[in-house]
Amino acid sequence: MHLLEERIQYKFRNPLLLAEALTHPSVGHEKQRRYFDNQRLEFLGDAVLQLVVTEHLFARYSEAGEGRLTTRRSRLVSREALKVHAAKLDLGRYLMMGRGEETSGGRARDSTLADAFEALVGAIFLDSDLETVRHFILEEMRADFERLEEEPLEINPKGQLQELLQAISPRSPVYEVLAQEGREHEKTFSVRVVWEGRVLGEGTGRSKKLAETAAALIALKERRWKLNESTVA
């Protein structure tokens, strides 16, 4: 069994499909002759991902309108998100690519990894069926869907706050837990976000992440760092 098959817990009936999914176009370019690569599978995998994620969001968020569903889907299937999944599977390690591409850092390139993940999805779909590839995708994206619950807004408050502050100073905001109350499965966390010695906001939530998000939202609303900008080094 291929090491990658062990990682994804799926055994290909047609190993050539896996080989095709893992072949970067640079192989053919370097050999200067026609050679199969993962571009066609990437095209197919992109469509399969869109379908599975769309179907899941449609069922999970019955009250959400088209705009919100589209934004959430974009967040889940963005190049950045797919690159993370590829890195988790260590796809770069298994790719076949030209020497020049590899030398220039191709195995870690965001677009290469995202494309390889889409190609892998396409290969699994062709080798099995929609139900099998749906199971693979939803398992891989389980944590992403959970984050949608924890950060339901179409912005990422913590990320937006960090971007705003780093435009002023290289120092990042720090989230401090002030208290946690309640029984093990019913805890409420209180968190504050601090930057340059100034408390920018405080928030509460049923988890640390939710409390941090709430604190970041308060900080974005009150913009207390504006009082400090003129004194930041």
Nearest 5°: the CA angle 215, 220, 223 is 110
Q: Give me the DSSP letters along 12-81.
A: -SSHHHHHHHTB-THHHHHHTS----SHHHHHHHHHHHHHHHHHHHHHH-TT--HHHHHHHHHHHSSHHH
The label of the residue with tokens 């984050």 reads 147
- Catalytic-residue membership of 118: yes
Distance CA 47, CA 45 (A): 5
Reference 141, options 68, 73, 219; nearest CA is 73
Q: DSSP states of 85-137 as a string?
A: HHHHTTHHHH-B--HHHHHTTGGG-HHHHHHHHHHHHHHHHHHS-HHHHHHHH
| Given 37, 42, 118, 127, the catalytic residue | 118
How far apart CA 142 and CA 73 sit, in angstroms, is 14
Q: Which two structure tokens, joined as six digits, stand for 66?
A: 């088209």
Measured CA angle at 199 (ends 197, 205), to 5 deg: 135
**Catalytic annotation on 42?**
no
Instruction: Say which of 37, 42, 46, 127 is annotated catalytic.
Output: 46
Classified as helix, coil or strand, 192 is strand
Catalytic residues: 46, 118
